[in-house]
A and B are shown apart, each in its own frame.
Chain A
Amino acid sequence: MPKHILEMQKITKVFPGVKALSDVELSVIDGEIHGICGENGAGKSTLMKVLSGVYPHGTYEGDIVYDGEVQSFHSIPDSEHKGIVIIHQELALIPYLSVAENIFLGNERRGKNGLIDWNLTNHEAMKLLDQVGLHENPTTPVNQLGVGKQQLIEIAKALSKDVRLLILDEPTAALNDDDSEHLLGLLRALKERGITSIMISHKLNEIAEICDRVTIIRDGHTIETIDVDDDAGMQDRIIRGMVGRDLTNRYPSRKHVVGDEIFRVEDWTVYHPTQEGRVVVDNASFNVRKGEVVGIAGVMGAGRTELAMSLFGKAYGRDITGRTYLHGEEVQINSVSEAIKHGLAYATEDRKRYGLNLIEDVRRNISAAALFKLSKRGWVDGNKEIKVAEEYRGSMNIKTPSVMQTVGNLSGGNQQKVVLSKWIYSDAEVLILDEPTRGIDVGAKYEIYTIINRLVAAGKAVIVISSELPELLGTCDRIYTLAFGVVTGEVPVAEATQEKLMALMTQEKEVRA
């Protein structure tokens, strides 16, 4: 009988009007890596908040048995004191403080006189960084480091608190493959040292690679806990559990009817907005045709988002040179509003920061980019606006009680549908979708793919930027690869494989020049 470090028994958590968790069971064996899978809104994060004391003892029903004892955590420090540390999806580091300061934030290393002992702090930080395989100076401000390294600092911070149970919420969502690989390797190393981990992830291949067991949660209920093995049917079983139905095909099929070229970019070069002389996009050329889905594959930092945003009315970068053509005619697009008028749309990879007004309702977010269609001489037709929003709620299957609902209250998938509705309503002809399915669950992903198919069937041109190669292979007609700001290849989907794309995506600039 394996020893359980954690047993959450019959956890029920009710919010006003919503039962977020009902009788959830989760048991974690000492020393394992335990995966948690579930659609967005299934209750994973709520469960972890119950465990870590964000929702204090007494606000939920059921017991948390940790280390053989029923625990009653009243706050995060309570659970951290017992060695339970949670690392949230949105990293909680302070950008202008150094690596060492962040690691020991709230847990400062003090000398005898009560003041902070900086030598000791930096020395210990160094040792912790070594343990997580990060070779950075502990006095570097964290905003100078990439997301992948920041994630490692979070883990170093956890180690400084003598963590025994580490909870990671979507740790690799924002990481590229290399960083993800490193992180997963680190989790294995921590396991060797006897640290138990719980990992929430949407990436089933990672779950399969690293977890010993996985618990599936759906609609606030535990569906099952299964042992992870190499069996090919396991991923399908997880998906079935998550969505409650079989997804025989993760990508909806589509008839490829490609027409004339709509949008072409030639010799597009963009410089970094603040760092003098740094080329972010280097002589990029590509085109997209009517009814075509074109993919742009590149690792994080390859300049994908920068390329897209610079095309979208020069919303990024400076000293931009190059030519853009719409229907064969050269056009100058110097502002976002011009881009919209020319039928361009850019759906951002970070919808909360750049895509939505979270405190505004669904209706006004949908109309945000196309108020000109709803207004005469500067006056907005509020009734028509409601009607439009209702239409999109229906056609895009946005799950919300009302179009007056604040967008911030919707799940990630539904927020993404609002973003897409906004751009479809703007009558865009060329839609650039930057990571359209990031952070949304399998079921909603399928819906997004269906929407993309509908768009191209209606004669639009769609450019999909993604770091998930299977997604590009499953949705695109052609795929461009981008590495270090340079377009390194153009591959028709029939000839594309993950290996081939990855090779092009990691091709060094010098090799090509």
Chain B
Amino acid sequence: MTGTANIKDLLVRNIRTSGIYIAFVVIVALFAILTDGRLLSPGNITNLVLQYSYILILAIGMVMVIIAGHIDLSVGSVVAFTGAVSAVVVIKNDMPWWAGVIAALITGVAIGAWQGFWVAFVGIPAFITTLAGMLLFRGLTHLTLGSISLSPFPQSYQNIAMGFQNGILGGNGYDVFTLVVFALAVVGYAFSAWRTRASRIAYEQSVEAFPLFIAKIVAVAAVVMWFAWQLANARGLPNVLIILAVLVIVYSLVTQRTVFGRHVYAVGGNLAAAMLSGVKVKWVNFGVMLNMGVLASVAGIVYSSRSNGAQPGAGNMFELDAIAACFIGGAAVTGGVGRVTGAIVGGLIMAVMSNGMQILSIGQPVQWVVKGLVLLLAVAFDVFNKRRAGAR
């Protein structure tokens, strides 16, 4: 069946996934107006990325956990614990920055394997396992740090989250390197979109109409290059953004294109059917929990680097922000549905709201109320959608 779909079809068919993008644009526009454009100023955009990067990193792992039908409540404590381990290595023992990174990553692997073992092989629900982990790793953080903060990190470690790539190719008040990197990314995106379209046509699948296809690419390119221009005019390309971009690309591919990714969806969609289709359910569950541990340690590194130290209370409530990002981003509470890009956009919605409200000097209590309501409405929208789809 060769056919082309118009924009309305696309939106209606993908209301669940496209709804989130529309909501994102609306929220950005709303806060841009409310803050008289300060939200979109070059300095603030850089800030926004840095401030929420660790939540976005956590959301990537969390969305896979949620797709597989689990939840992870321990990530906030794991962020704190891995940061503490890194701080002990780098600050107390005067080791180089990369030794701290490696120590944190190894800790993350161990924690992921520990929780994966209980969830996958013993069969303890992830809710319980990670609730225990939340206490366990918070306690270990305090024990490791002796309940006091450890700081400061050397500059080299701080650069992980606070550093920028700037001036490599020079520039006249703006960083050429940043622009080149983004331009390459846009070209790469356009090329892969074109290839996907071409092969879809070759396989006689329906694709969007050609002018729409071009319009989509131009729109994406314009937004991305505008974003790049803002960064280039501020401090250049943040290192964290590079880490985040790599993670998003890698995990989008893992979830959408690999056998493991497929198995995660299959397990969350129907556990029994997945098992009877030869999916090694236990290893899939182990894998998502292990992966969550690793990503939590990456977030721990970024957070400790950004906050320039390790605190016993670090990462408090991060798990809730990460979980909220996934559900706002269209993941289903019952598992089997969700996307990495959705979780990222969900996280960005939270980030823009928090940041916007901060600029407007709205206090934390009101921010909590607003975030709570947004989460509730997002899931209500999902439930409503599903009910409508299932109404027969």
Residues of chain A at the chain B interface (Cβ within 8 Å) = 15, 20, 46, 309, 312-313, 315, 335-337, 339-340, 346, 348, 353-360, 364, 368-369, 371-372, 375, 378-380, 382-383, 386-387, 390, 402, 408-409, 422
**How far, in whole Å, are A371 and B278 apart by their CA atoms in the complex?**
10
CB–CB B205/A368 < 8 A:
no
**How far, in whole Å, are A348 and B274 apart by their CA atoms in the complex?**
12
Q: Residues 228-272 of chain B: 1 if any A CB is under 8 Å from the residue's CB, otherwise 0?
A: 000000000000000000000000000011111111011001101
Determine if B277 is an interface residue (Cβ-Cβ < 8 Å).
yes
Q: Could you list 8 further interchain pairs (A-B, Cβ under 8 angstroms) beyond the known A339-B278, A380-B258, A382-B256?
A: A309-B276, A336-B276, A336-B278, A348-B276, A359-B332, A379-B257, A380-B261, A387-B203
Q: How far is the CB of B192 from chain A (nearest CB, A)?
A: 13
The 6 A-B pairs at the shortest CB distance, nearest first, are namely A357-B269, A337-B278, A369-B277, A340-B278, A368-B277, A357-B270
A15 in contact with B392 given A335-B280, A368-B266 (CB within 8 Å): yes
CB–CB A371/B259 < 8 A:
yes
CB–CB A357/B280 < 8 A:
no
Q: Which of B201-233 contact A (CB under 8 A)?
A: 202-206
CB–CB A383/B280 < 8 A:
no
Partner of A354, one of B1, B269, B273: B273
Q: List A contacts of B263 (CB < 8 A).
A: 371
**How far, in whole Å, are A409 and B391 apart by their CA atoms in the complex?**
10
Q: How far is the CB of B255 from chain A (nearest CB, A)?
A: 11
13 contacts between A and B (CB under 8 A): A312-B276, A336-B277, A337-B279, A354-B273, A355-B276, A357-B274, A357-B336, A359-B337, A360-B269, A364-B266, A368-B279, A380-B257, A402-B206
CB–CB A358/B276 < 8 A:
no
CB–CB A402/B1 < 8 A:
yes
Q: Which residue of A lies closest to B267 (CB)?
A: A357
**How far, in whole Å, are A366 and B191 apart by their CA atoms in the complex?**
30
Q: List A contacts of B202 (CB < 8 A).
A: 383
Determine if B199 is an interface residue (Cβ-Cβ < 8 Å).
yes
Q: List A contacts of B205 (CB < 8 A).
A: 386
CB–CB B278/A359 < 8 A:
no
CB–CB A358/B270 < 8 A:
yes
**How far, in whole Å, are A337 and B280 apart by their CA atoms in the complex?**
8
Q: List B contacts of A355 (CB < 8 A).
A: 273, 276
Q: Which residue of B lies closest to A369 (CB)?
A: B277
CB–CB B276/A346 < 8 A:
yes
**How far, in whole Å, are A315 and B273 apart by their CA atoms in the complex?**
11
CB–CB A368/B274 < 8 A:
yes
**How far, in whole Å, are A369 and B280 apart by their CA atoms in the complex?**
11
Determine if B92 is an interface residue (Cβ-Cβ < 8 Å).
no
Q: Which residue of B lies closest to A344 (CB)?
A: B278
Q: List B contacts of A371 (CB < 8 A).
A: 259, 262-263
**How far, in whole Å, are A346 and B265 apart by their CA atoms in the complex?**
21
Among B205, B262, B270, residue most surrounded by chain A Cβ atoms (within 10 Å)? B270
CB–CB A378/B260 < 8 A:
yes
Determine if B275 is an interface residue (Cβ-Cβ < 8 Å).
yes
Q: Which residue of B lies closest to A46 (CB)?
A: B392
**How far, in whole Å, are A390 and B346 apart by their CA atoms in the complex?**
34
Q: List B contacts of A372 (CB < 8 A).
A: 259
A378 in contact with B278 given A354-B273, A359-B337 (CB within 8 Å): no
CB–CB B272/A354 < 8 A:
yes
Q: Which residue of B lies closest to A374 (CB)?
A: B259
Q: List A contacts of B273 (CB < 8 A).
A: 353-357, 368
Q: List B contacts of A353 (CB < 8 A).
A: 270, 272-273
Q: How far is the CB of A219 from chain B (nearest CB, A)?
A: 16
CB–CB B200/A383 < 8 A:
yes
Q: List B contacts of A364 (CB < 8 A).
A: 262, 265-266
Q: List A contacts of B391 (CB < 8 A).
A: 15
Q: List A contacts of B337 (CB < 8 A).
A: 359
**How far, in whole Å, are A360 and B268 apart by their CA atoms in the complex?**
10
Residues of chain B at the chain A interface (Cβ within 8 Å) = 1, 199-200, 202-206, 256-263, 265-266, 269-270, 272-280, 332, 336-337, 390-392
Q: How far is the CB of A88 from chain B (nearest CB, A)?
A: 14
Q: List B contacts of A358 (CB < 8 A).
A: 269-270
**How far, in whole Å, are A340 and B276 apart by their CA atoms in the complex?**
10
CB–CB A360/B259 < 8 A:
no
Q: How far is the CB of B18 from chain A (nearest CB, A)?
A: 16
CB–CB B336/A360 < 8 A:
yes
CB–CB B278/A369 < 8 A:
yes
A359 in contact with B269 given A336-B278, A369-B278 (CB within 8 Å): yes
Q: How far is the CB of B261 from chain A (nearest CB, A)?
A: 8
CB–CB B275/A315 < 8 A:
yes
Q: How far is the CB of A426 from chain B (nearest CB, A)?
A: 8
Q: List B contacts of A359 (CB < 8 A).
A: 269-270, 332, 336-337
**How far, in whole Å, are A18 and B206 apart by their CA atoms in the complex?**
22
Q: How far is the CB of A372 from chain B (nearest CB, A)?
A: 7
Q: List A contacts of B332 (CB < 8 A).
A: 359
CB–CB B277/A382 < 8 A:
no
Partner of A383, one of B199, B262, B275, B277: B199
Q: How far is the CB of B269 from chain A (nearest CB, A)?
A: 4
**How far, in whole Å, are A81 and B235 apart by their CA atoms in the complex?**
72
A360 in contact with B278 given A371-B259, A386-B203 (CB within 8 Å): no
Partner of A378, one of B259, B265, B274: B259
**How far, in whole Å, are A506 and B163 apart by their CA atoms in the complex?**
78
Partner of B276, one of A315, A382, A390: A315
Among B276, B280, B336, residue most surrounded by chain A Cβ atoms (within 10 Å)? B276
**How far, in whole Å, are A357 and B337 apart by their CA atoms in the complex?**
11
**How far, in whole Å, are A354 and B204 apart by their CA atoms in the complex?**
32
Q: List B contacts of A46 (CB < 8 A).
A: 392
**How far, in whole Å, are A312 and B278 apart by their CA atoms in the complex?**
10
CB–CB A356/B259 < 8 A:
no
CB–CB B259/A375 < 8 A:
yes
CB–CB A357/B278 < 8 A:
no
Q: List B contacts of A375 (CB < 8 A).
A: 258-259
Q: How far is the CB of B212 from chain A (nearest CB, A)?
A: 18
CB–CB A383/B278 < 8 A:
no
Q: List A contacts of B265 (CB < 8 A).
A: 357, 360, 364
**How far, in whole Å, are A313 and B275 apart by their CA atoms in the complex?**
10
**How far, in whole Å, are A383 and B270 apart by their CA atoms in the complex?**
24
**How far, in whole Å, are A368 and B261 apart by their CA atoms in the complex?**
12
Q: Which residue of A lies closest to B200 (CB)?
A: A383
CB–CB B270/A356 < 8 A:
yes
Q: List A contacts of B199 (CB < 8 A).
A: 383
Q: List B contacts of A15 (CB < 8 A).
A: 391-392
Q: List B contacts of A390 (CB < 8 A).
A: 203-204
Q: List A contacts of B278 (CB < 8 A).
A: 313, 335-337, 339-340, 369
Q: List A contacts of B272 (CB < 8 A).
A: 353-354
Q: List B contacts of A360 (CB < 8 A).
A: 265-266, 269, 336
Q: How far is the CB of B86 from chain A (nearest CB, A)?
A: 31
Q: Which residue of A lies closest to B390 (CB)?
A: A408
CB–CB A354/B259 < 8 A:
no
Partner of A380, one of B262, B277, B392: B262
**How far, in whole Å, are A422 and B336 apart by their CA atoms in the complex?**
19
Q: How far is the CB of B207 from chain A (nearest CB, A)?
A: 12
CB–CB B275/A336 < 8 A:
yes
CB–CB B259/A382 < 8 A:
no
CB–CB A380/B275 < 8 A:
no
CB–CB A382/B262 < 8 A:
no
**How far, in whole Å, are A369 and B277 apart by their CA atoms in the complex?**
5
Q: How far is the CB of A248 from chain B (nearest CB, A)?
A: 34
Q: How far is the CB of A342 from chain B (nearest CB, A)?
A: 11
Q: How far is the CB of B64 from chain A (nearest CB, A)?
A: 15
**How far, in whole Å, are A340 and B277 apart by their CA atoms in the complex?**
8
Q: How far is the CB of A272 from chain B (nearest CB, A)?
A: 18
**How far, in whole Å, are A335 and B279 apart by their CA atoms in the complex?**
10
Q: How far is the CB of B337 from chain A (nearest CB, A)?
A: 6
Q: List B contacts of A357 (CB < 8 A).
A: 265-266, 269-270, 273-274, 336
Q: How far is the CB of B240 from chain A (nearest CB, A)?
A: 28
**How far, in whole Å, are A379 and B279 apart by their CA atoms in the complex?**
16
